[in-house]
Chains A and B, each alone.
Chain A
Amino acid sequence: MNTSDKKARIVLENAGRIDPLSIKEYMNSGGYEALKKALSMQSSAVVDEVKRSGLRGRGGAGFPTGLKWSFTAPLQGQKYILCNADEGEPGTFKDRLVMEGDPHKLIEGMIIAGYAIGASEGFIYIRGEYYASIEKIEKAIAAAEAEGLLCEKVLGKEFAFKLSVRKGAGAYVCGEETALIESMEGKRGNPRVKPPFPGVSGLWGRPTVVNNVETLANIPYIIKNGADAFRKIGTEKSPGTKVFLLSGKVKEPKAIEAPMGTTLRQLIYDLGGGLAGGIKFKCALVGGAAGAFLGEDMLDVPMDYDNLLAKGAVLGSGVVMVLSEKEEVMPVLKNLMEFFVHESCGQCAPCRTGNKMILDLLGRIEAGKIAAEKGFEMILKAASTMKETSLCALGQSPILPISSALKYYSRELTIK
């Protein structure tokens, strides 16, 4: 697979290449052609095309996007399309690159999604710290309005659509779709009990499709070039590209858009220039804070949703944080747990107290106050209880990074 193949750029195709605030430049490079095509199709045909493309949610869960749309499309009454731009998974900065580098691609994706599911209004919920993203998206929305792309009759057709930005205010859990909806309604971002799912009862109790920025940025390509063209990229069950996010001890930390199925080795060594200072690779935290530490034995696993899941790992948001032989795993693990402690919304007792308990135990193991074996046994028990009993992914998350880090920690102990 030629990962530097230009055709493999869908989401970041224009980022850094065109003036993000010039709607003319976006149009000159084929922008809004997909919207024209979509509006000439039946809305159900748009949903079918996305279904056939095999596109899966890029926020981390990997749920088939077309299927999600098909639940909401037949429902009657006021519906909403909501873009989750509350990017907060540690190590993740892909949505920011889309919003800052090619805001019209996201807007085009949202208008098409609105048409497909029959929503007359859309919202982009952007985390409050992303000042530049908020500014660019707001300016791009104004430009799209001036071009008749967001109005009572989009491109003169019998389709009304309006779009606006909502700002987050610093809460990781609001990236969870029902917490995001609560936050949009002006409340604390506590996740809701599911079902009902947002597709049936979401914003203000109305059917709401929530999609990630990267997911929506794939839509114009799929509609313009067709599902078959999209399926030619990536793997059978995870078609398309993924924006991987290389950070940590690599020579060149950066975002890399590559076909799904690219291996860790290709990402780190071929595309990322290898490890900084040429130091030996120890492991990489893949998927985000809720991801797994993967070692040398996993360097050649094709990275997509199913291949990683089969190995007990997750693709998550595409984070690849590399550790060299010089870094110890324990401080990183403690850092991840401090993150979960801080970001737990406190609604579910297992998550609220469990994260604190795990962090405390890690400290005691490190200080030699409790035997590592005994300590980790207690930690794993707590983490698995949290996985079973927490309402949302936040409380279900710590088990994976902890259990996958264990072998590296025991190795470090032996070396000491």
Chain B
Amino acid sequence: MISEILKKYEPKKENLLSILHDVQESSGKNYVSTESVLEIGKFLGMTRSEINGVMTFYTMLSEEPRGKYIIRICVSAPCHVAGSVSVKEELKKVLGIDVGETTGDGLFTLEESACLGVCDIAPAMMVGKDVYGGLDGHKIKKIISEYRSRK
């Protein structure tokens, strides 16, 4: 499955994060399966626990299947001051899930981000690779329904 990805890289430990990113992106479920971890380990000469140690350190990486789109709601201080708490509540309501959970249709996983680096348009969030700012309840409903109709 992931041999095509591994072909792009030299078997060096320094390539671990890049490989994990690629494998995760190609999984369709934004995660790196145990089988993939074992295969990557064989390729780089690393144990499963070593790779697990790295994966659990970084918030973007997951060993559990997640939604097609990761929604990252920014909870940084500037977004907090701009109302991110109520935006997060609104998101939970619209999606029907809590932070860390995935919607039943497998489309969205809701996560928090320490700072997305878009403080000039706070409160902000990312859906997949796209950034949305100046959020309020109305805007959130519109964005989410657009993604729902996209599938």
Q: Do A and B come from one complex?
A: yes
A residues whose Cβ falls under 8 Å from a Cβ of B? 87-93, 95-96, 127-132, 166-172, 183-189, 245-249, 253-255, 285, 289, 321, 323, 327, 331-332, 335-336, 338-339, 342-343, 345
Would you call B60 an interface residue if the criterion is a C-beta within 8 Å of the partner chain's C-beta atoms? yes
Decide yes or no: A87 and B81 within 8 Å by CB, A169-B21, A186-B17 being known contacts: no
Which B residues are in CB contact (< 8 Å) with A130? 117
In angstroms, Cα B133 to Cα A276, docked, is: 17
Query: Which one of B18, B44, B122 lies within 8 Å of A166 (CB-CB)?
Result: B18
Proximity bits, B122-147, A CB within 8 Å = 1, else 0:
10001001010000000000000000
Decide yes or no: A186 and B14 within 8 Å by CB, A90-B114, A247-B122 being known contacts: yes
Q: Do the beta carbons of A90 and B120 come within 8 Å of each other? A: no
Would you call B38 an interface residue if the criterion is a C-beta within 8 Å of the partner chain's C-beta atoms? no
In angstroms, Cα B81 to Cα A184, docked, is: 34
Query: Which one of B12, B16, B60 lies within 8 Å of A128 (CB-CB)?
Result: B60
In angstroms, Cα B129 to Cα A127, docked, is: 13
Q: Do the beta carbons of A93 and B59 come within 8 Å of each other? A: no
Query: Which one of B14, B78, B117, B126 lies within 8 Å of A87 (CB-CB)?
Result: B117
Which A residues are in CB contact (< 8 Å) with B53? 188
Query: Which one of A96, A185, A189, A254 lies within 8 Å of B117 (CB-CB)?
Result: A96
Which B residues are in CB contact (< 8 Å) with A93? 117-120
Shortest Cβ distance from residue B1 to the other chain A in the assembled complex, whole angstroms: 21
Interface pick from B69-77, B88-96, B100-108: B69-77
Would you call B61 an interface residue if the criterion is a C-beta within 8 Å of the partner chain's C-beta atoms? yes
Shortest Cβ distance from residue B12 to the other chain A in the assembled complex, whole angstroms: 8
Residue of A nearest to B112 (CB): A342
Would you call B54 an interface residue if the criterion is a C-beta within 8 Å of the partner chain's C-beta atoms? yes
- Identify 13 residue pairs between A and B in the complex whose beta-carbon atoms are under 8 Å apart, listed by A's number: A88-B115, A92-B117, A93-B118, A166-B18, A169-B20, A170-B58, A187-B13, A189-B57, A247-B78, A248-B82, A254-B120, A336-B77, A342-B114
Contact-residue bracket for chain B:
35 or more
Shortest Cβ distance from residue A389 to the other chain B in the assembled complex, whole angstroms: 22
Shortest Cβ distance from residue B50 to the other chain A in the assembled complex, whole angstroms: 9
Which B residues are in CB contact (< 8 Å) with A89? 115
Residue of A nearest to B115 (CB): A90
Residue of B nearest to A322 (CB): B81
In angstroms, Cα B81 to Cα A332, docked, is: 7
In angstroms, Cα B121 to Cα A184, docked, is: 31
In angstroms, Cα B115 to Cα A276, docked, is: 22
Would you call B116 an interface residue if the criterion is a C-beta within 8 Å of the partner chain's C-beta atoms? yes
Q: Do the beta carbons of A167 and B114 come within 8 Å of each other? A: no
Q: Do the beta carbons of A129 and B116 come within 8 Å of each other? A: yes
Would you call B80 an interface residue if the criterion is a C-beta within 8 Å of the partner chain's C-beta atoms? yes
In angstroms, Cα B52 to Cα A187, docked, is: 11
Q: Do the beta carbons of B17 and A188 come within 8 Å of each other? A: no
Residue of B nearest to A252 (CB): B120
Known: A171-B57, A189-B58. 18 other contacts (CB 8 A): A88-B115, A89-B115, A90-B77, A93-B117, A95-B117, A128-B60, A167-B21, A170-B113, A172-B114, A186-B44, A188-B53, A247-B78, A248-B81, A253-B78, A289-B77, A332-B81, A339-B114, A339-B115
In angstroms, Cα B20 to Cα A123, docked, is: 19
Shortest Cβ distance from residue A2 to the other chain B in the assembled complex, whole angstroms: 23
Q: Do the beta carbons of A92 and B77 come within 8 Å of each other? A: no
Decide yes or no: A249 and B81 within 8 Å by CB, A129-B126, A170-B58, A186-B13 being known contacts: yes
Shortest Cβ distance from residue B91 to the other chain A in the assembled complex, whole angstroms: 17
Which B residues are in CB contact (< 8 Å) with A92? 115, 117, 119
Q: Do the beta carbons of B78 and A90 come within 8 Å of each other? A: yes
Residue of B nearest to A190 (CB): B57
Query: Which one of A127, A186, A285, A339 lies within 8 Å of B54 (CB-CB)?
Result: A186
